[in-house]
Amino acid sequence: MFDYTILKLVWWLLVGVLLVGFAIMDGHDMGVGTLLPFIGRSDEERRVVINTVGPHWDGNQVWFITGGGAIFAAWPLVYATAFSGFYWAMLAVLWALFFRPVGFDYRSKIHDPRWRRTWDWGLFIGGAVPPLIFGVAFGNLLQGVPYHFDAYMVSTYTGSFWALLNPFALLAGVVSSAMVTMHGAAYLAHRTQGVLQQRAVRATGWAALAMCVTFVAAGLWVGKLDGYRIASAIESAAVADPTAKAVVREAGAWLANYARVPALWMLPVLAVAGALSGVWLQRLGRTLAAFVATSLSMTGVIGTAGASMFPFIMPSSSMPAHSLTVWDSVSSQLTLTIMLCATVVFMPLVIGYTSWAYRVMRGKVTVEYVKANEHSAY
């Protein structure tokens, strides 16, 4: 069907699409969870906020699960190394995500203000913590992660959890958090009306401003970081062996792809323009178009990081030659081919039923609705 080199590139693109899909689909309900304690000022208003994402949040988790499964199957060395090095960070994401299913299901079961406030903050944790940690993880990838492989291709992580919380990584975490909050606020503005919509519009503006400022600051910082460059011949069709290459670190190396392909500058432009366009479109009352604009902004942010690092996926700061790249961290050609066939079949199904579900549940959620559906609404 495709040769090994093409399959490696195809799966780099497909994993990127899954990450973007996860950010857009699961990101907006995480953003709504982050805003829940602040947008909703009363129990009825918070129930409105929850009901905008309540019917869809678990379906959106498909993108998260599929993305993790794709990395496991297509990039097994990346999966093993990342989950070893980022073990405690990934556990923190998992613990935070625990609050989401129980929060959505249990919050409205008991008519006790303290009970409901507790779950409101639980949903806040489940929405705010994962984007922050994912951003911190990407910030560390751009700096390199301290690991190496032994003779048996077993990776050893030599860093610590607290070393992950360095200034640049925390800045990347703020970019991620602001991006998701902006997207969630745009979705809330589309699904609500009246005072809730006004608050969501204001939140979109502030979050978009924070995202643009921190994204530009992170970009300027990346230009001064020591990036990575493959200094030996690239055997793109060879069997995966991440130790069979030479890698050097150079200041500004993460911008080399933009120098070679100037069209890539459209990605960071899309990130900023999408955010600002979303705010402008909301002012015009075009809330659905604003949501599309913030989705494009997220695509630009993630695409910018991916284009900067290509072909690296997980650089090694302690042993640069052992860095994992698109060419040497993948599964066999047969595995990638079978997975591609499955993707061609099932990806349209996922997109189709997701589109149908959102079409069925479209429309505004109001205080009157949650009052009239006391037992069926969230």
Tell me what pLDDT residue 119 has.
Answer: 94
At residue 353, does pLDDT exceed 90?
no
> pLDDT band at residue 34, thresholds of 50, 70 and 90?
very high
Confidence of residue 357 (pLDDT cuts 50, 70, 90): confident
Res. 78 pLDDT band, cuts 50 70 90: very high
Residue 283 lies inside a defined structural domain of this protein = yes
pLDDT band for position 159 (cuts 50, 70, 90): confident
Instruction: With respect to residue 204, please indicate whether it lies within any of the assigned structural domains.
Output: yes
pLDDT at 233 > cutoff 90: no
pLDDT, one tens digit per residue, over 48-58 is: 999 999 888 88
pLDDT score of 224 more than 80:
yes
Computed over every residue of the chain, the mean pLDDT equals 91
Measured in degrees and rounded to the nearest 5, phi and psi for residue 248 equal: -120, 155
**What's the domain count of the chain?**
1
Please report whether residue 377 resides in a domain: no
Question: For a pLDDT cut of 90, what percent of the chain falls above it?
Answer: 65
Inter-CA distances, 128 with 177, 268, 332, 377, Å:
7, 24, 37, 24
Given a cut of 70, is residue 376 above it in pLDDT?
A: no
What residues contact residue 17 under an 8 Å CB cut-off, 6+ apart? none
Q: How confident is the model at residue 377 (pLDDT cuts 50, 70, 90)?
A: low
Instruction: Answer yes or no: is 342 within a domain.
Output: yes
pLDDT band at 86 (very low <50, low <70, confident <90, very high): confident
DSSP code for 101: H
Residue 169 has a pLDDT of 95
The residue among 55, 77, 27 whose CA lies nearest residue 302 is 27
Identify whether 354 is part of a domain. Answer: yes
Residue 236 has pLDDT above 80, yes or no: no
Beta bridge partners of 230: 247
Tokens linked to 290: 């604003």
Question: What average pLDDT does this structure show over 106-133?
Answer: 92
pLDDT at res. 11: 94
Number of neighbours of residue 126 by Cβ within 10 angstroms = 27
pTM: predicted TM-score of the whole model, two decimal places: 0.92
The fraction of the chain above a pLDDT of 70, given in percent, is 98
> Which pLDDT does position 367 carry in this prediction?
82
* Domain limits for position 272: 4-372
In a domain, 163, yes or no: yes
Per-residue pLDDT at 1? 65
Give the tens place of pLDDT for each residue, 322-351.
Answer: 999 999 889 999 999 999 999 898 888 888
**pLDDT for residue 231 is more than 70:** yes
Q: Say what the pLDDT of residue 254 is.
A: 95
Backbone angles phi, psi at 329, to 5 degrees: -125, 15
Q: State the pLDDT at residue 378.
A: 74
Per-residue pLDDT, 259 = 93
Please, which pLDDT band fits residue 375 given cuts at 50, 70 and 90?
A: low
Residue 258 has pLDDT above 70, yes or no: yes
| Residues contacting residue 109 through CB under 8 Å, at least 6 positions apart | none
Query: What pLDDT does residue 127 have?
Result: 94
Residues 6+ apart with CB under 8 A from 327: 8, 234, 235, 236, 238, 240, 311
Which is more confidently placed, 60 or 171? 171
Phi and psi at 199, nearest 5°, equal -65, -40
pLDDT above 90 (res 280): yes
Predicted confidence at residue 240, as pLDDT, reads: 75
- With respect to residue 378, please indicate whether it lies within any of the assigned structural domains: no
Please report whether residue 334 resides in a domain.
yes
Q: What is the pLDDT of residue 132?
A: 96
Phi, psi angle pair for 156, to nearest 5°? -125, 120
**56 or 35: whose pLDDT is higher?**
35
